[in-house]
Amino acid sequence: MTPELPVGIHDLTFSTTSLVLTHEELARHTGAPLAKYHHGIGQRSMSIPAVDEDIVTMAANAAAPVIDRHGKDRIRTLLFATETGIDQSKAAGIYVHRLLGLNPHTRVVELKQACYAATAALQLACALIRSDPTQQVLVLASDIARYDIGSPGEATQGAGAIAMLIAANPAILSINTPSGLYTRDVMDFWRPNYRTTPLVNGRRSVDAYLEALTQTWHDYKERGGLPLEELRAICYHQPFSRMAHKAHQHLMHLAGTHQTAEIIEHAVAGTTTYNETIGNSYTASLYLALTSLLDSETNLEEETIGLFSYGSGSVAEFLTATIQTGYRNALHTERHRTAITQRTPITYDTYRELRSQKLPTDGEALHLPHQTPGRHRLAGTHTHQRLYEAVDKRCPQ
């Protein structure tokens, strides 16, 4: 029997916004002890979008280096995962399709199921490649996490986008089978159409997350999955980075594995670096954890890692991937670190001012000032239409 062709992530990049609010600055205005942020939830800063940055511009900025490196001729599908969509009908990925100058003979779809949607997109992409290994699929996950000012979730806000090029014989990692699945109708986190911020039951959300981890792990094991000790590392969805510690402690308990605070810290430390400075990025969060792990000094060649994806409401999946030999040659480590260090710190007052600004809802024309240093920007609105432009001429419109 011919071995199954490996399929998985051939390239992986992320982008975030150009502004950042540190938790030191936030604590000065909330009166909360800084330790509550740094140690309680494991967060140090959160990315804040400039007026001309949104989920489309972040996604296009994340994807641009992938297109620069690999071209676009083999991309036949673009899958855009988000839970902060900008239109009830039109997929945000269609704007990105134009900004990147992709082939018109491409399918573009938006996927939604809270923070899980990027994993659904990844699995759909792998299935498409297995049916036609000559094509490639561009998977984008882009979100801006906003909560009510003064709410418990405010300190976990953030923004980020992931771009993954899915292909046969991938350079970074191959996606394995089986995976464990779980769905349950639970109201732990949701956002009705008439709200701009979500409704959250924090305690219930943590419980639902851990229950989903339990159920997906059991399903994964029942289908012949590997024992925990054979997984070199595990990346978790991180609504806040301390959740990765809670999740790993829970999984070790399920597996009957010896656990200490030091063991748990060592196991997840490499996965939290980007999330603790960017904040929650919803669909992109798990894959920011993966990028952080890959960009770390840990040698992962030929190792198998676990990925736990959770989306409130809720849907979850536990899957594994095998890291390829020479994967470091495909990484964008310096670009990623620069994206974080070059953000401009803002004051709490500036943050509040940015939060108060709204796009017109009556079709009025609006021209936005050019603030982002990124390659793509939201230029304004006109007759209820968003107007995007590619600043970098290498990305034709």
pLDDT in tens, the chain (397 residues): 446 899 999 999 999 999 999 999 999 999 999 999 999 999 999 999 999 999 999 999 999 999 999 999 999 999 999 999 999 999 999 999 999 999 999 999 999 999 999 999 999 999 999 999 999 999 999 999 999 999 999 999 999 999 999 999 999 999 999 999 999 999 999 999 999 999 999 999 999 999 999 999 999 999 999 999 999 999 999 999 999 999 999 999 999 988 888 888 888 989 999 999 999 999 999 999 999 999 999 999 999 999 999 999 999 999 999 999 999 999 999 999 999 999 999 999 999 999 999 999 999 999 999 999 999 999 999 999 999 999 964 443 3
From 10, 23, 97, 237, active-site residue: 237
Are 343 and 271 in contact by the 8 Å Cβ rule? The answer is no
Q: Is 293 left (phi over 0), alpha (psi -120 to 50) or beta?
A: alpha
Catalytic member of 10, 23, 25, 83: 83
Q: Let me know: does 223 contact 230? Beta carbons within 8 Å.
A: no
- Tell me the residue length of the chain: 397
* Cis-peptide into 18, omega within 30 deg: no
Given this model, what pLDDT does residue 3 score?
Answer: 62
H-assigned helices in 223-366: 242-255, 261-268, 275-278, 285-295, 333-341, 348-356
Catalytic annotation present for 235: no
Asked whether 325 and 127 are in contact (CB, 8 A), the reply is no
CA–CA gap between residue 381 and residue 387 (Å, rounded): 6
Contact assessment for residue 80 and residue 96, using Cβ atoms and an 8 Å cutoff:
yes
Query: What is the CB neighbour count within 10 angstroms for residue 397?
Result: 11
Domain ranges for the chain: 7-390
List the beta bridge partners of residue 315.
183, 311
> pTM, whole model, 2 decimals?
0.96
What are the structure tokens assigned to 385, written together?
């239409």
Q: What angle do CA 245, 251, 256 make, to 5 degrees?
A: 125
In the annotation, is 83 catalytic? yes
SS (H, E, C) 153-184: CHHHCEEEEEEEEEEECCCCEEECCCCEEEEC
Q: For 4-35, b where at least 16 C-beta lie within 10 A, e where not — what string?
A: eebbbbbbbbbbbbbbbbbbebbbeebeeeee
> Does residue 140 contact residue 93 with C-beta atoms inside 8 Å?
yes
Catalytic residue, chosen from 10, 115, 248, 332, is: 115
115 is catalytic: yes
For domain 7-390, give the CATH superfamily. Thiolase/Chalcone synthase (3.40.47.10)
Structure confidence at residue 392 (pLDDT): 66
Asked if 146 and 115 count as a contact pair (C-beta separation under 8 A), the reply is no
Report CA 291 to chain centroid distance, whole Å.
10
